[in-house]
Amino acid sequence: MDLKDKIKYFKESDNFLIGLLRDFLFVFIVVVMFSSISYIALGRFSPMVAVESGSMIPHIQIGDIIFVESVNRTKIITFNEGKETGYSTFDEYGDVILYKPRGRDGITPIIHRAMYFVNAGEPMWTGGPPAPFAGYITKGDNQKTNSMFDQQGSISPYIPVKPEWVIGVARFNRIPWVGCVSLASRGIFTCFN
């Protein structure tokens, strides 16, 4: 049997194992294509995150899927810069960023708005302590649960977000509820509260 006949047999066979192999091969090809396109477009092989908390309500909801562009591919525009230029994302000025709290891996990243950038020694907010190093001051959009900057509360106390801790910038629009499947599969049931 030559190669052409083997390919034809593989495509048309009724054998259960060959059919299963065809299905796995198809899924593998789709995943590779999606990852490649994602990397080309957004600079990340896995460009989506599921939102676990309500800290960004009303603009981003629990269970939303958010697309994230690699920070290496874009410039972060803060709330203050966006207010001056009219630039907005997710119905508010400035960019929403995904960052590692305190720069640590293995901890759920935070998705909050970059409010402004401070340099080392500058006050982190009006009347606040000096920044130990340069970084972003961040805040969730939910006025009920996030009335203060992350750096004033328990999320990132007295520590700005270093640029190298930023994973990416939220892009496009949210996809509602789809992230609930991902969250539930990891034992996180915040969508159903």
Identify whether 129 is part of a domain.
yes
For residue 40, count CB atoms less than 10 angstroms from its CB and return exposed for 0-12, middle for 13-18, buried for 19 or more: exposed
122 inside domain:
yes
Kindly state the average pLDDT of the residues 78-97.
Answer: 98
Give pLDDT, residue 36.
Answer: 81
Distance CA 115, CA 82 (A): 9
Main-chain dihedrals φ then ψ at residue 83, nearest 5 degrees = -65, -35
Same domain (yes/no): 127, 38: no
Domain membership flag for residue 116 = yes
d(CA 67, CA 49): 7
Q: Which runs of consecutive H residues, i.e. helices, occur in 151-193?
A: 179-185
The answer on 72 and 29 residing in a single domain is no
Tell me if 188 is assigned to some domain. Answer: no
Residue 34 phi, psi dihedral angles, 5° rounding? -60, -45
* Residues belonging to the chain: 193
- Average confidence (pLDDT) over 64-82: 95
Question: Is 108 part of a structural domain of the chain?
Answer: yes
In this predicted structure, what is the pLDDT of residue 29? 87
pLDDT at residue number 156: 93
- Establish if 121 belongs to a structural domain: yes
Q: Considering the domain boundaries, does residue 87 fall inside one?
A: yes
Query: Looking at the domain assignment, is residue 10 inside a domain?
Result: yes
Q: Are 109 and 147 found together in one domain? A: yes
Same domain, 152 and 77: yes
* 126 shares a domain with 73: yes
Q: Look at the chain and report how many structural domains it folds into.
A: 2
Write out the residue range of the structural domain in which residue 92 sits. 67-172
pTM for the full predicted model:
0.83
- Give me the pLDDT at residue 19, please: 86
* Weakest-pLDDT range from 52-61, 79-88, 142-151, 173-182: 173-182
Q: State residue 88's pLDDT score.
A: 97
Q: Is the domain of 30 the same as that of 77?
A: no
CA torsion through residues 71, 133, 105, 92, sign: negative
> Mean pLDDT over residues 135-143, rounded?
97
As a whole number, mean pLDDT of residues 166-174 equals 95
pLDDT, one tens digit per residue, over 13-63 is 888 998 898 898 888 888 888 878 877 777 777 789 999 999 999 999 999
Asked whether residue 160 falls in the same domain as residue 83, the answer is: yes
Across the chain, mean pLDDT equals: 92
- pLDDT score at 117: 98
- Statement to judge: residues 37 and 101 lie in one domain: no
- Within this chain, do residues 100 and 163 fall inside the same structural domain, yes or no? yes
Q: Are residues 120 and 162 part of one domain?
A: yes
User: How far is it, in rounded angstroms, from Cα 188 to Cα 80?
Assistant: 34
Shared domain check, 165 and 102: yes
Q: Are residues 74 and 32 in the same domain?
A: no
Tokens 């190093």 correspond to: 133
